[in-house]
């Protein structure tokens, strides 16, 4: 039957299309507004301030090693991992949305590359304060700014081993805090917390050991003096659209 054979051909075509496109999940619709869509996976960006700009809260030597050795190594290893693969022409959001299929080299180094760019940009010697809109959302989600700060700090202090603390916007447009292990982030399909990141804190020992040694809580408390609220406000305004 001609009709049957046509249907079979269409069916095979759909299956082939699924195989071709299936390894790259589409990022959630609400990420399309985000400035992160413009993130260039082939560029290692300059640090937006001098190594000593965040003194005394984060020391210059730590910043130099953290940016120029740790961060650069993640970038170089990520570029090597995506070379001559389909990932080389994808956006960071596409890669993270199906990172479970990309393998550990892309997951760990892609996360390490992206998370640090994101982190450097949410730090500044000129701290500022949350916008009226963000303050309202923080009060709604956590009760008060102090309660938010406590919840975020606790996420950072209690993350076992290496990882990151996050403030993020969930798919139902609510603020939440949480942490991820290693170099995972809330954009990854493998993450137990999911949403649009707004504020990050690196709690790997390499981020604080030279100045604070084992005293992670002191580093977490110092972090609040150098949060770039202008950038967090901008991210929130983009994410909530
Ligand atoms: Mn780090």
pTM of the model: 0.87
Ligand 1 centre to CA of 88 (Å) is: 23
Token pair of 30 as six digits:
């609400």
Query: Residue 241 — very low, low, confident or very high, per pLDDT cuts 50/70/90?
Result: confident
What tokens appear for 222 in the block?
A: 């110092």
CB atoms inside a 10 Å sphere around CB 36 = 21
Answer yes or no: is pLDDT of 110 > 70.
yes
Q: Nearest to residue 57, comparing CAs of 118, 115, 127, 113?
A: 127
- Ligand 1: centre distance to CA 223 (Å): 14
First vs last C-alpha separation in the chain: 52
Residue 159 CA to residue 216 CA, distance in Å, equals 10
Closest C-alpha to 216, from 153, 157, 154: 157
Spell out the domains of the chain, with CATH numbers in brackets: 27-241 (3.55.40.20)
Tell me the per-residue pLDDT of 66-103, one tens digit each, with 9 for 90 and over. 999 999 999 999 999 999 999 999 999 999 999 999 99
Of 164, 173, 180, 178, the C-alpha closest to 216 is 164
**3 CA → ligand 1 middle, Å:** 59
The mean pLDDT value of the chain amounts to 89
User: What SS3 class is residue 44?
Assistant: coil
Hunting for tokens 């949350």 — which residue is that? 130
Q: What share of the chain is helix, strand, coil (3-state, %, to 5)?
A: 55, 10, 35
Cα–ligand 1 centroid distance for 111 (angstroms): 10
pLDDT band at 20; cut points 50, 70, 90: very low
pLDDT digits (tens, 9 = 90+) for 21-73: 444 566 555 555 455 667 899 999 999 999 999 999 999 999 999 999 999 99
Q: Is 167 exposed, middle or buried (0-12, 13-18, 19+ CB in 10 A)?
A: buried
Burial letters 204-233, b for 16+ CB under 10 A, else e: beebbebbbeeebeebbbbbeebbbbbbbb
């Amino acid at each position: 039957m001609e009709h049957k054979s046509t249907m079979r051909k269409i069916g095979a075509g759909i299956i082939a299309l699924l195989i071709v496109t299936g390894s790259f999940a589409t990022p959630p619709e609400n990420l399309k507004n985000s400035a992160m869509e413009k993130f260039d996976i082939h560029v290692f960006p300059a640090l937006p301030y001098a190594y000593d700009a965040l003194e005394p809260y984060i020391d210059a030597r730590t910043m130099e090693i953290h940016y120029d050795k740790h961060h650069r190594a993640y970038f170089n290893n990520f570029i090597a991992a995506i070379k001559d693969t389909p990932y080389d022409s994808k956006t960071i959001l596409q890669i993270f949305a199906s990172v479970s299929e990309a393998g550990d080299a892309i997951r760990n180094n892609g996360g390490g590359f992206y998370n640090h760019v994101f982190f450097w940009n949410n730090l500044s010697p000129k701290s500022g304060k949350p916008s009226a809109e963000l303050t309202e959302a923080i009060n709604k989600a956590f009760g008060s700014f102090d309660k938010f700060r406590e919840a975020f700090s606790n996420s950072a202090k209690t993350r076992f081993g290496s990882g990151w603390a996050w403030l993020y916007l969930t798919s139902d447009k609510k603020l939440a805090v949480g942490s991820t292990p290693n170099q995972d982030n809330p954009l990854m399909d493998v993450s137990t917390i999911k949403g649009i990141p707004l504020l990050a804190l690196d709690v790997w020992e390499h981020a604080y050991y030279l100045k604070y040694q084992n005293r992670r809580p002191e580093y977490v408390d110092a972090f609040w003096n150098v949060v770039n609220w202008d950038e967090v406000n901008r991210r929130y305004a983009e994410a909530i659209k």
